[in-house]
Chain A
Amino acid sequence: MEERKILLETKELTKYFKTKHGNLHAVDGINLSLPQGTTLGVVGESGCGKSTLGRTILKLIEPTSGQIIFDGEDITKLSPNQMKRVRANMQIIFQDPYSSIDPRKSVAQSIAEPLEIAHIYSNKADLNKKIKELMDTVGLAQRLYDSYPHELDGGRRQRIGIARALALNPKLIICDEPVSALDVSIQAQILNLLMDLQESLGLTYMFITHDLSVVKHISDEIMVMYMGRCIEKTNSKELFENPTHPYTKALLSSIPIPDSSMRKKKLEVIRGEVTSPIEPKPCCRFAARCPYATDKCRAQEPALEKISDGHFVACFLSQE
């Protein structure tokens, strides 16, 4: 594969939220670089900071520290006004198509909104033409032009969300759990659409999800997050063939596989729940639930280190 241009890069990106009891470490020192035209999957359970990471990159949330470099430009310090220009190139698709679309706007009005905000078309006819083009691209029938969201099912609503994200021809789209609210047969339709669009428009995706089977299909690289930290990062194939961090292994083994031999097997269960991300102790954040934790894990936090070509893990066990 030829060397691709890096579209998005973050350096030690950190977001702390202030709470009564101290700082909540939502995103803690994340380094990533995303080549153009590829997909980075970000996986983790609720509260691991994956959505906050996505929103911080778009600067919908101001980062506490660190750097975001988008398309060669450091956007960390840009003002909201300056961000307007950049945002045309970075869009987001939200999780819940039931609440992320204005119920009082028709399909056409919803899709027109980003185009109107960016003042792209001065002429109504051109705008309508673009809206119809976008509806075609995402597979929404023209007859739905004047329909309202309540008349549509979840899959079609999510197509509106995708059309809105595509409207300004962005380079990067952050997909925040775009299919988790949908049924499996519809989920497959939307995932296929996203993959087709990537191919035809050369889009770059950051795909945030809790569903490993979804992320496997769509991603080139996968990053596993736990309590604001990246604990394992590698290409999709390697992650599933050779998961190394105990948490990644646990995540993979907790997925119930649709196979009749599962009935006799016991699901592998990891104990406990995610511990509090407020002022976490300086130790491995997974240590409290980890079946292999040693005293060293409880005293010191492991750094993300390379264990093989392109495979990074933050665990003392795999680094030894």
Chain B
Amino acid sequence: MSKEFINISAADNGPILEIKDLNVIYKTDVEVVHAVNGISLSLEKGETIGLVGETGAGKTTTALAILQLLPERTGRITEGSIRFLDREITEMSEKELELVRGNMISMIFQDPMTSLNPVLRIDEQIGEAVMIHNPEMSKAQINDRVEEVLGLVGIPASRKNEYPHQFSGGMKQRVVIAIALSCNPMLLIADEPTTALDVTIQAQVLALIEELQEKQDTSMIMITHDLGVVASTCDKVGIMYAGELVEFGTLEDIFDSEKHHPYTSGLFNAIPDLTVETKRLNAIDGLMPDPTMLPEGCAFAPRCHECMEICRKQKPGYYQEGGHSIKCFLYVEQKQEENV
């Protein structure tokens, strides 16, 4: 195995993944879409970070940038660095990337109905990943490994010769997870892994992911729009809006702290609460800004109830309190006043 180009033991004394000031654009003939605008975060070994946000917030783009899977002709990283262990991903050659993808970093895609190949048996699809990354393995060894990972995700080995259409949605997602885990990745990126599933099946899949993560000490980035999923799986949480990380902190910071970005508060208020009786839901008025024409100041300003004059003109910096950071003038201002 040629994993030598990267120093795996680097994870013992530093973050496994470190993103600094990442900017991604999609450029077409007619417009430039600013999908990710200056995101920084770091992920320790065994940790799970949740990236939360609505459609178009840049969550999936961030994931694709980490794997260097942005659409070749339009997607481009314009600025920033992504360090995986001791190497810079943005500077890796295609050959090196092939060794990383699916092997050290793997991804669970959103929709199990479309992310499997309908004309290949599931053992072929799982075996493919194993074979590519372990060319020295014999057919029998690969077969053993396929059966082993099927066992891990709770699919009886007797079903390995079946095709995707013979599985239900939850079982298909298990197959996708089996593929992602087949090479014991150090980092798992799960892009809305349960959005397409029913709640009882979602609970099964989340429990499975957590169990496997514990067993293998895998780090994980969980991309979701569901704060409930975040609460049951993540250690740290980043709230994304219009390509920016507007708030970042531990699970407790995001769920229990008194200080929040107005968007985070809006997001929490918009969820219908099962425990409280209210007649009306608190919707956030308006829509996310068009990523081809982002406002000059804070991206959330047009929808924000606490918008001040400065918000429309300037981009806010981060207000820090321990590991909890909020990108909003409400708190940045406050701190300046305290200093005076």
A residues contacting B by CB (< 8 A) are 45-46, 153-155, 183-189, 191-192, 195, 210, 212-214, 216-217, 237, 240, 250-260, 262-263, 265-271, 273
Contacts and interface: CB of A to CB of B under 8 A. Distances in A.
A263 B251 contact: yes
Interface in B239-298: 251-252, 254-256, 266-268, 270-274, 277-285, 287
Contact of B206 (A153, A154, A188, A267): A267
Given A188-B281, A195-B280, A256 B232 contact: yes
Q: How large is the interface on B (under 10, 10 to 19, 20 to 34, 35 or more residues)?
A: 35 or more
Contact of A273 (B170, B229, B282): B170
Contacts of B203: 253-254, 256, 267-270
Interface string B198-209: 111111101100
A266 B266 CA distance: 27
A187 B255 contact: no
The 5 closest A-B pairs by CB, nearest first: A256-B228, A260-B255, A188-B283, A258-B227, A254-B203
Contacts of B168: 273
B212 to A, nearest CB: 14
B231 interface: yes
Contacts, number: 124
B154 to A, nearest CB: 10
Which of A183, A237, A259 gathers the greatest number of chain B CB atoms within 10 Å?
A183
A191 B207 contact: no
Interface of B: 54-55, 168-171, 198-204, 206-207, 225-235, 251-252, 254-256, 266-268, 270-274, 277-285, 287
Contacts of A254: 199-200, 202-203
A256 B229 contact: yes
B200 A240 contact: no
B231 A217 contact: no
Nearest to B256: A260
A192 B229 CA distance: 24
A243 to B, nearest CB: 11
Given A185-B267, A189-B283, A256 B206 contact: yes
A258 B230 contact: yes
A216 B275 CA distance: 10
12 contacts: A45-B200, A183-B54, A183-B225, A185-B266, A186-B54, A216-B272, A237-B277, A255-B274, A258-B231, A260-B254, A267-B207, A269-B207
A213 B198 contact: no
B281 A191 contact: yes
A251 B252 contact: no
Given A184-B271, A189-B283, A269-B200, 16 more contacts: A45-B201, A46-B198, A153-B287, A183-B54, A186-B283, A189-B285, A195-B280, A251-B199, A258-B230, A258-B255, A258-B271, A259-B231, A262-B231, A263-B235, A267-B206, A271-B204
A240 B256 CA distance: 25
B281 A240 contact: no
A251 B284 contact: no
Contact of B274 (A189, A210, A240): A240
A184 B203 CA distance: 20
A214 B231 contact: no
Contacts of B55: 154, 183
Given A258-B230, A273-B170, A214 B199 contact: no
A257 B171 CA distance: 24
A71 B256 CA distance: 50
A234 to B, nearest CB: 16
A258 B204 contact: no
Contacts of B206: 256, 267
B52 to A, nearest CB: 10
Contacts of B267: 184-185
A214 B171 CA distance: 26
B12 to A, nearest CB: 25
